[in-house]
Structure 1
Amino acid sequence: MGYDMLSKTKIQKLRIGSKVCEGDGLYFKKTKADGGQWSYRYTSSGKSREIGLGVYPIIDLLEARRLRDDNRRLRARGKDPIIEKRKAEQAKRLKDGVKFSDIAEKYIQSHEPQWRNKKSAQAWRNTLATYVYPELDKWPLEDITSKQIADLLLPIWHSKSETARRVQQRIVRIFDAACANGIMEGDNPADWQRRLQHLLSSHTNKPIKHHRALDFRDIPELFKQLAAHDCVSARALEFNILTAARTSEVTMAVRKEIDTAKALWSIPGHRMKMNQPHQVPLSRQASALADAVMRQHNQSFIFRGIGRSGRLSNNSMRKFLQVTMKRHPLTVHGFRSTFREWAAWQRKYDRLAIEFSLAHKLKNRTESAYMRSNLIEERRDLMQDWADYCFSGQNT
């Protein structure tokens, strides 16, 4: 390694692979017959550092000297050239590149048509705008770290744990979309298993809030009381309990889904929580109820509402149960637990038949294979016995 002043002629005579010092920290390494690389060496905090200045001959000797002098001036002001270069590159990427919010909005727009709840898109936008954009939009997408994500989640991690969990999951999906579209590379910085679980405490020890449910022993009395109410909410609630369905599955049920001849309710996948079609064998009572309600009108939705949508709102049954029937704090969803508890107490029904009746996703792969059979006949007996029990407190 020499310290002679370089020239174009000296560079041409250098052996390929040789590296020489031009002076004052400027180095040249010859990489091929007509080219090489410039760099600037310096010491920072007692450590030797080297920063690239460009490729020769695109960067000629005079330009290389100018770049060296620029870096020497930075050192004279107490600044580290490598750190300053990274800052400049980061600022350029932020100015020229896309922000987290740009990717998020594209993700929302592309997935919005698939979301069953029309309010989901606005919920995504609201939570991201409140908790995420103010922090992550400060940085180029590829520079965002797991620590930054953990820091923005920490203020709500315990006080608003459910919101924090949803925000984290939404950030994960947006980064996945960025990787899938080639906008960024590497691991997802919001991934829980690989990253965030090491920075945030788990929510698994937090008590789960269950929907308040009615003891199954009180169901016959409830049905006696429901019979005294002549309104759509009462009939919808009866149908909801008899079928062990979710609220929206009942309020959005339409005529074409009900086959009274086969006593079968076929719910399309897009209306189900698991996005899988679901068939509900109807008991005699449930089938007769649906038929009687449909005979009262010719609209598409079975349980009509007064709003512009034409269907019963998701809150109608809850308000009827808690206000009209004075059954607060019971919830409509809680009747699914009531059904499950009743079925378990009978000790005669196939566990999978119970799970299928609730349209639950089976975690065990072997059990999931039964999805093909649907256990429809086993469930038909189960649902008929349940209906008979519901109406056992009155003459049917």
Structure 2
Amino acid sequence: MARPINKLSALEVKSETKPGRHGDGGGLYLQVEPSGSKSWVFMWKRDGKRTAMGLGAFPTVGLADAREKAGAARKNLSAGRDPLLHARQEAEREEAEPTFAEAAEAFLDEDRMASWKNAKHRAQWQMTLGDAYCKYLGQMKVSAIETADVLKVLKPIWSTKPETASRLRGRIERVLSFAKMRGWRSGENPAMWRGHLDAILPKPEKLKRRGHHRAMVYQNVPAFIRRLREASGMDAKVLEFTILTAARSGETVNATWDEVDFEQKVWTVPANRMKAGRKHEVPLSPRAIALLRSLPRRSDNPYVFSGLRKGRSISAASMEMLLRRWELKDQTTIHGFRSCFRDWTGDCTTFPREVAEAALAHVVGDKAEQAYRRGTALERRRKLMTAWADFLASADGKGKVIPLAGRRKVAAE
């Protein structure tokens, strides 16, 4: 007759003080030490030899968890496996298994990846598989990643950035296939398209029609900046900095303090965070410097625009939420401010086209032309960005921010 199990109650486990082993049945015991500390032990006998395996200390491991672990040990015994040896093997496998970020880096470091046509291609893979899009997956063990996790990364950009999202899905699939080949995971690939995600997400070709980013006319931006400066939240700060630097939102929200050189007044965005996969130096206007100096610097957070969670940056979605709260979401976009900057440069200044395009981190001309311009572009762009900041601080912006009668659409990059 099988020994009865579940003999202990949660209250008994909590209040038991008598030293010794107190059986719950099925080989599970609560072990109480003379000092009063408690732990769980699973015991079994095979070939006349009694063996004990620790299952963890109480209360870190509660009664329900201990019973679950004991149940797993009994299943191993029934299957002819040594529970202690099996637990050690599982622990070793868990320790050896990489996170998604580590697996992606290992995948990129494979010799066969050296056949890529240029460094830019590899940098684009690093950027998309890194914090820019895969921050959520980054610290997950590769064996733990499921379809819901992949969708959490893809869904926010599937309709708005279909080309990027489609490439990202393929890259995640490649990394997880690589992980399976290395023995780090098993089963179907949760990022697989045919016969899997194609039943959940719209087909990319239906979404690839070139979209437009809504933008206000540049004459209205100074009034919008004044409203931003009256707000006190970090979302308003990061949005103003994004507009001042004509940067993309992903570049600013992930900016770290070690990228900012206050002495040279330059913010250097690394290649892995740039769309073109090339390092971008941003000359900072006096207003941009003053904004940065007004921000708190935390020893436990490397990000310039810190979020609410410890050690994390603010989310790019916070800027979109600000526009929504101000009832501007249907009239302008964060990316549209880059178009405002470009139109203002063309209409109101005499700066050459290549200087404006360089300020937007657009690649202009062939490699020889780019190399020739590299030496003088920074200082010329500094003058341009200072003039832009002065315009944003002006008091003669025409029209109201709400409503934006002069709104327009600009081609997406």
TM-score by length of 1: 0.50
User: 1:356: how far off?
Assistant: 1.2
1:260 aligns to what?
262
The question of 1:361 aligning with 2:363 is answered yes
Partner amino acid for 1:116? G
2:32 aligns to what?
none
| Greater relative CO (CA pairs within 8 A, separation 6+) | 2
Partners of 1:126 and 1:371 in 2: how far apart?
Answer: 47
User: 1:376: how far off?
Assistant: 0.5
Give the alignment partner of residue 232 of structure 2, picking from 230, 233, 245. Answer: 230
Partners of 1:164 and 1:317 in 2: how far apart?
Answer: 21
Partners of 1:319 and 1:172 in 2: how far apart?
Answer: 31
CA pair 217-231 structure 1, distance change in 2 beyond 3 A: same
2:130 aligns to what?
116
Give the alignment partner of residue 281 of structure 2, picking from 276, 279, 293. Answer: 279
User: 1:126: how far off?
Assistant: 8.2
Asked whether the 8 Å contact 2:269–2:280 carries over to 1, the reply is yes
User: 1:233: how far off?
Assistant: 0.8
Asked whether the 8 Å contact 1:224–1:394 carries over to 2, the reply is no
User: 1:205: how far off?
Assistant: 12
1:318 aligns to what?
320
2:354 aligns to what?
352
Which residues in structure 2 correspond to 1:1-396 (within 5 Å)? 110-111=106-107, 114=126, 115-117=129-131, 118=135, 162=163, 166=167, 207-294=209-296, 297-298=298-299, 299-323=301-325, 325-329=326-330, 330-362=332-364, 364-370=366-372, 372-373=374-375, 375-393=377-395
CA pair 288-108 structure 1, distance change in 2 beyond 3 A: closer
User: 1:332: how far off?
Assistant: 1.1
Partners of 1:394 and 1:280 in 2: how far apart?
Answer: 27
Partners of 2:338 and 2:352 in 1: how far apart?
Answer: 17
User: 1:222: how far off?
Assistant: 0.4
Partners of 1:119 and 1:362 in 2: how far apart?
Answer: 34
Partners of 1:116 and 1:374 in 2: how far apart?
Answer: 32
Q: Deviations over 1:13-63 (max 9, x none)?
A: xxxxxxxxxxxxxxxxxxxxxxxxxxxxxxxxxxxxxxxxxxxxxxxxxxx
TM-score by length of 2: 0.48
CA pair 270-167 structure 1, distance change in 2 beyond 3 A: closer
2:46 aligns to what?
none
SS at match of 2:213: coil
Partners of 2:304 and 2:168 in 1: how far apart?
Answer: 36
Partners of 2:344 and 2:369 in 1: how far apart?
Answer: 22
Greater shift, 357-366 or 224-233, is seen at 357-366
User: 1:304: how far off?
Assistant: 1.3
Partner amino acid for 1:350? P
Asked whether the 8 Å contact 1:260–1:291 carries over to 2, the reply is no
SS at match of 2:212: coil
Partner amino acid for 1:388? D
**How many residues end up aligned between the 2 structures?**
242
SS at match of 1:293: coil
User: 1:260: how far off?
Assistant: 2.1
Q: Deviations over 1:264-311 (max 9, x none)?
A: 1122222222222111111111111111114x6554211111124421
Partners of 2:391 and 2:238 in 1: how far apart?
Answer: 18
Asked whether the 8 Å contact 2:320–2:329 carries over to 1, the reply is no
Q: Deviations over 1:329-364 (max 9, x none)?
A: 222122111111111112511111111111122364
CA pair 394-351 structure 1, distance change in 2 beyond 3 A: closer
SS at match of 1:362: coil
Q: Deviations over 1:85-120 (max 9, x none)?
A: xxxxxxxxxxxxxxxxxxxxx996744793323358
The percent identity for this pair of structures is: 34
CA pair 204-304 structure 1, distance change in 2 beyond 3 A: closer
Asked whether the 8 Å contact 1:268–1:277 carries over to 2, the reply is yes
Asked whether the 8 Å contact 2:162–2:208 carries over to 1, the reply is no
CA pair 316-205 structure 1, distance change in 2 beyond 3 A: closer
Partners of 1:302 and 1:108 in 2: how far apart?
Answer: 26
